[in-house]
Amino acid sequence: MKGMLPALSVLFAVLAAAVPWGLPAHATFILSLLAVTMVFCWRIIPGTTLPAYLAMLFGLLGDLLGGGPLGFWALMMLIGVTAGGYAGPFTDGRDLKRLWIVWSIAAFLIAGLSWLLASLYFLRWIDWWPMAFGACASVLLFPVVLHGVLWIRRGRLLPERTALYRRWT
């Protein structure tokens, strides 16, 4: 059951991103991007597995629920997986800064690629603001998502701050 936690949590995030929360038009990119953030976080936590094909399937589910072109969010999920794979493991609290920077680069890459793909798709420049807003929000929320993923993995929130970033090795 514990091995399925990454997949289940990402599935939950993809479903939650599709639910009508009544967010304003410029904030609609955030929820789906948070699911990608979650994929990234699961990839950097040692001892957990979230295969690329599974992330892609969740992305396809997101495409299906969102009504956008099939393959778009699947591609973004794959970028999240690849970035997580290259970022290295999160074994220490000191790794947070490095991983945060890696995620920031990945988030803006995803936002830029989204804007480019959407512009190519419609053969006109589309509004870049929702993507940029989503990327900024996902960068700011990265520690929160990482905290949440760690909480899901442990099943409880430890009271001490140091315990969150304790060494696995």
Site residues for other proteins per CB under 8 A: 15-25, 28-29, 31-32, 52-53, 56, 59-62, 64-75, 78, 81-82, 114-115, 117-118, 121-122, 126-127, 130-131
Query: 117, 76 in Cβ contact below 8 A?
Result: no
Give the residue with the Cβ less far from other proteins, 82 or 143. 82
Taking the complex as a whole, the smallest distance from the CB of residue 127 to other proteins amounts, in Å, to 6
Give the residue with the Cβ less far from other proteins, 86 or 93. 86
Give the residue with the Cβ less far from other proteins, 68 or 143. 68
Give the residue with the Cβ less far from other proteins, 106 or 118. 118
Query: 40, 33 in Cβ contact below 8 A?
Result: no
Q: Which two tokens stand for residue 110?
A: 């995803």
Q: Which two tokens stand for residue 163?
A: 């315990």
Residue closest to 150 by CA, chosen among 130, 129, 137, 168:
168
Taking the complex as a whole, the smallest distance from the CB of residue 139 to other proteins amounts, in Å, to 18
Query: 99, 44 in Cβ contact below 8 A?
Result: yes
Taking the complex as a whole, the smallest distance from the CB of residue 78 to other proteins amounts, in Å, to 6
CA 5 to chain centroid: 15
Give the residue with the Cβ less far from other proteins, 115 or 142. 115
Taking the complex as a whole, the smallest distance from the CB of residue 130 to other proteins amounts, in Å, to 7
Taking the complex as a whole, the smallest distance from the CB of residue 145 to other proteins amounts, in Å, to 19
CA 49 – CA 120 distance, rounded (Å): 34
Using the 8-state DSSP alphabet, how is residue 55 labeled?
A: H
